[in-house]
Amino acid sequence: MEAILTASRALVAIAARSLGEVGQDITLPQYRTLVLLASRGPTKLADLAAALGVHPATATRMCDRLLRKGFIERKSHSGDRRQVEITLTVSGTALLAQVSQVRRAEIAAIAAKLPNEVLDALISTLVSFSEAAGEIPDRDWSSQWPI
């Protein structure tokens, strides 16, 4: 458990630095919201709140902030105008691509310090860990990004 906690601190630090380097005022929870929207597509607010593990009122406030920043938009569902879905904007998608590019570069620099056999084992382990956590690999949803 200690090794996972230590590695998670390193990964959170990389995430925080990558957000700081893109020059946008965005928090880690807001970034996570954008990632969920990118990976799942248009999402109802209640479903987004559930995926984030927060109360719908918290998700509403977060979405209000992201809306003001131009990273998301609310769209009425075609079949029922009362149903509102949250979607990424072009600016939101561009932000995700920028952050991902910075993050990939930093992770690549760290990975280059590891022997190949350790890196191979780490990759296998992290794939299993990500699957157990229910994360969708970037390659399955970020193909539209210029990264």
Q: Look at residue 129 and tell me if it is in a domain.
A: yes
Q: Which phi and psi angles does 27 have, rounded to 5°? A: -90, 165
What pLDDT sits at residue 99?
93
> pLDDT tens for residues 29-80?
999 999 999 988 899 999 999 999 999 999 999 999 999 999 999 987 666 6
Q: Look at residue 146 and tell me if it is in a domain.
A: no
Q: CA 126, CA 105: separation in Å to the nearest integer?
A: 18
Q: CA 59, CA 126: separation in Å to the nearest integer?
A: 28
Amino acid, single-letter form, for residue 47: D
Cα Rg for the chain, rounded, in angstroms? 17
DSSP 26: -
Q: Which domain holds residue 111?
A: 2-140
Q: Look at residue 16 and tell me if it is in a domain.
A: yes
The residue assigned the tokens 């559930």 is: 50
> pLDDT tens for residues 97-144?
999 999 999 999 999 999 999 999 999 999 999 889 888 777 766 655
What is the count of structural domains for the chain? 1
Q: How many CB atoms neighbour CB 24 within 10 A?
A: 15
What pLDDT sits at residue 144?
53
Q: Look at residue 147 and tell me if it is in a domain.
A: no
What pLDDT sits at residue 147?
43
28 to 104, 114, 125: CA distances (angstroms):
17, 27, 24
Q: Which two tokens stand for residue 107?
A: 């992770």
> pLDDT tens for residues 74-103?
987 666 666 789 999 999 999 999 999 999
Q: Please, which residues bridge with residue 75 across strands?
A: 85
CATH (domain of 83): 1.10.10.10
Q: CA 50, CA 108: separation in Å to the nearest integer?
A: 32
Q: Look at residue 49 and tell me if it is in a domain.
A: yes
Amino acid, single-letter form, for residue 105: A
